[in-house]
Chain A
Amino acid sequence: MLKYILKRLGLSVLILIGVSLIVYILIRCMPVSFVESKIAAMNQGGVQVPKETVDAMYEMYGLADSSFLGILKGYGSWLNALLHFDLGQSFVYGDSVLNVIVEHMGVSFAIAFIAIIFEYLIAIPLGVTAATHQYSVRDYVVTIIVMVGISLPSFFFARVLQNVFALKLGWFPSAGMENTAAGYKGIFRLLDQLKHIALPLIAMVILSIGGTMRYMRTNMLEVLNSDYIRTARAKGLKESKVIYKHAFRNTMIPIVTMMAGILPTLFSGAMITEQIFDLPGIGNVALKATVSADIPFIMGYNMFLAILSVVGVLLSDLMYMVVDPRVKLA
């Protein structure tokens, strides 16, 4: 078992190196350049920046050589720094990349964690009822509602929520993480924060329920039509026991694969929603960094997600072994 995990982790290193190389080359090929926009901003002031300064700036940020070899060299130095546990300095935030990630991760994690709990608490029962009452009014109503949710674009739906509940009705604050002016302490501060993240949470939950519910419904239907469910009914078990004991355990097997996707989403932050509600989450920070071509930060952020994805897949494989006795890992 331990040997298996170690083997998988060893393979993960290779995957991560590949991911980082591809991501680095792609970023370097982006049509925006941090230095360019900085010089343009300086030029706006009316002062013509001398050519020597421009060259010096390119040199300083390590972006002077844009040939393929130059990019590879740049990747080499990034990798070398990484081996010394240094992710580099963020261009935009002027702090070390690791610090920026750690600082903003908490907010995103808290929101995503609550959202996922709600998502599963709502989507799984909905999926089960839709499956057990297949083709009934209940099934159609649930399916239509979640399909509406799945089809809404997040930038649009978040804006609608903000407009209706924050600006028109004034039930919730429209943006930000907390009301610093009020100076709440302890439990009141927490409640204030919850009030601030309520709307983004609602947006995220409604948008994500659809997929999980459809997945649950399909799996449940497949399991309910299997022979062992007929056996369970033939034993004289009540329908609720048939569904929640015999069918549910089997439905959970494919659901566990979704674990692989949960881990990165927990930490990655919701870029668009966070940006609309101006939350200091990592998604918001990463969006700004991407727009301004903050190479060290984008690299650090993407590597962070890649590591989480790799660990997520490993965890879901391990979970498979827990829920399905037929799976043995070696």
Chain B
Amino acid sequence: MNFKKKSDDSAKKSEKHYLSGKEIRAIAKENNKVMRRLEKYKRRKAPEEEFLGEMKDPADILEVEDLHSYFFTDQGVVKAVNGVTFSVPQGSTVGIVGESGCGKSVTSMSIMRLLQGPQGQIYSGSIRFKSYDFKRDEKGKPIPIWDDDENGEPVYEEIKDRHGKVKLDKNGKPLTERRQKRDRYGTKLYEMEEKVFDIAKMPTKEMYRLRGRQIAMIFQEPMTSLNPVFTIGNQLDEVTLLHVPGATKEEAKRRSIEMLNLVGIAMPERVYNSYPHELSGGMRQRVMIAMALEGNPRLIIADEPTTALDVTIQAQILDLLRGLKDSINGSILLITHDLGVIAEMADYVVVMYAGRIIEQGTASEIFHHPMHPYTIGLQKSKPTMDSESDSLFNIPGNVPNPIDMPDYCYFRERCSGCKEMCYGEYPKMVQVSPTHWVACHLYGGENPKENADEN
């Protein structure tokens, strides 16, 4: 990102527990300056070339590189996401785990560009996303795929109005239009092309074509995530009407009902006409998933999709998500603090702590050979059926205050394997296998493998 980097640690670190009026004013001044610059950057008009990019690995659908998402608060800058790098390969599920407040949700919100401005901002870094967008002609209109007959001759069909009657022109002749190819849900198809966008650089207005259509999000609170005054049908149709050019209300309704069917709702017609308060939590989460599928997205971000649900519904929703991933050939970015869910669902796991990634690897590596003391602690603090002990293990202490983070391993105070080196600067990422990375001084030696075995 081409932001001018400058120090924004305006408040000097001090031992006292309060901020003086002078310090508060200095923080506010500095914050205002940065926020205004970033807000202006989001509102700017930019040609498409400015935010087009290239994927590092063509197999990836999403690459997040050195992402910094900050909150500019009155007490100082909260570095909620502080240099996060990971990627989501096409067709896979990537899980992000960590304690509350470690930056999981902020990472996902950054990808959607839904951080609440002006306080929440992507400060620097890049989020490259391989989008599958409409191919447009010179006038900027999407190019339809025509459904021609065997000889390549165009086929014309009559235009029907809402009541299924054929529309007539002034002379009483039926109006016709060239037949367009439709998918199995009756939604019109257009020519598509792949483009790589750098989401962090996109103006907010350009985000409208990615949100809902290319990247969809399922939130953790199904009870409050649906608008209480509109029917389910109205809220579902909106996505199709918004993202498919020339979609009619009937087409949208048909698609919505198909999607409700797909997520396992028994009476889609009835649910289509109900209001959110008439459904249970599990049903609402299914509706949210249906809404996410409506735009046929390439990436679904599920932000703790099962946290608010009871255990039996959790299993059903996870099964549903797993099945859907294959049927839509998309990827899932699953955010959770439930290691069981991750073990069940994810191909790759990213472990976050205090805004940074401390370990990442395949699910099997993280579960069978956890390396970072934090990951090991997380594993231990999971209740198991065969353990004999009376009390559950927990990692002592809390996540440090996110304002004025020190430049040493944030886990130092809570770590059981703390060494002299840990009093030095923040550990770098160490590669321990082709897919397994860890940021810990325990493995920073000449031969990381050996160190790992010692542990």
Contact = CB atoms under 8 A, between A and B. Distances in A.
B239 interface: yes
Given A227-B221, A326-B275, A326-B277, A235 B228 contact: no
19 contacts: A227-B224, A228-B224, A230-B225, A231-B291, A233-B114, A234-B114, A234-B212, A234-B217, A235-B238, A235-B295, A236-B209, A236-B210, A237-B208, A237-B242, A246-B227, A250-B227, A250-B228, A324-B228, A326-B275
A246 B219 CA distance: 17
Contacts of B372: none
Contacts of B216: 234
- Top-5 shortest CB links A-B: A236-B212, A236-B211, A235-B212, A227-B224, A228-B227
Contact of B225 (A227, A324, A326): A227
A238 B238 CA distance: 12
B207 to A, nearest CB: 8
Contact of A324 (B116, B210, B212, B229): B229
B204 to A, nearest CB: 8
A249 interface: yes
Contacts of A231: 219, 225-227, 288, 291
B122 interface: no
Nearest to B112: A234
A22 to B, nearest CB: 39
Given A230-B114, A323-B229, 15 more contacts: A135-B118, A227-B221, A227-B225, A228-B228, A230-B225, A233-B211, A234-B112, A235-B212, A235-B295, A236-B209, A237-B242, A238-B208, A250-B228, A324-B228, A326-B228
A253 B229 CA distance: 10
Most B CB within 10 A of own CB, among A231, A249, A250, A253 = A231
B219 A227 contact: yes
Nearest to B224: A227
B229 A325 contact: yes
Contacts of A250: 227-229
Nearest to B222: A227
Interface string A178-206: 00000000000000000000000000000
Contacts of A228: 224-228
A225 B114 CA distance: 12
B213 interface: yes
Interface in B407-453: none
Contacts of B322: none
Main secondary structure of the interface of A (DSSP, over half): helix
A226 interface: yes
Contacts of A227: 219, 221, 224-225
Interface string B261-275: 000000000000001
Which of A234, A250, A325 has the most CB atoms of chain B within a 10 A radius of its CB?
A234
Contacts of A234: 112, 114, 211-212, 216-217, 219
A232 interface: yes
A94 B9 CA distance: 79
Contacts of A225: 116
A223 to B, nearest CB: 10
Interface in A31-89: none
Contacts of A324: 228-229
Contacts of B227: 228, 231-232, 246, 249-250
A256 to B, nearest CB: 12
Contacts of A326: 228, 275, 277
Contacts of B118: 135
A104 to B, nearest CB: 41
A310 B176 CA distance: 59
A233 B207 CA distance: 10
B243 interface: yes
B230 interface: yes
Given A227-B224, A325-B277, A326-B275, A235 B239 contact: yes
B34 to A, nearest CB: 15
Contacts of B204: 239
A236 B295 contact: yes
Contacts of B238: 235, 237
A235 B211 contact: yes
A230 B222 CA distance: 12
Interface in A244-272: 246, 249-250, 253
Nearest to B277: A326
B242 A236 contact: yes
A236 B208 contact: yes
A251 to B, nearest CB: 10
Interface in B186-230: 204, 207-213, 216-217, 219, 221, 224-230
Given A227-B221, A230-B114, A249 B230 contact: yes
A325 B234 CA distance: 14
B336 to A, nearest CB: 18
A111 B366 CA distance: 74
A246 B235 CA distance: 10
A139 B195 CA distance: 39
Nearest to B208: A236
Nearest to A248: B229
A105 to B, nearest CB: 36
B288 to A, nearest CB: 8
Contacts of A325: 228-229, 275, 277
Contacts of B239: 235-236
Given A236-B210, A237-B242, A326-B275, A230 B229 contact: no
Contacts of B207: 236
Nearest to A324: B229
A228 B208 CA distance: 17
Interface in B374-414: none
A8 B226 CA distance: 33
Nearest to A225: B116
A323 B225 CA distance: 19
A225 B116 CA distance: 9
Contacts of B211: 233-236
A227 B114 CA distance: 12
A213 to B, nearest CB: 22
A227 B224 CA distance: 6
Nearest to B221: A227
Contacts of A239: 204
Interface in A214-229: 225-228
A292 B116 CA distance: 60
Nearest to A136: B118
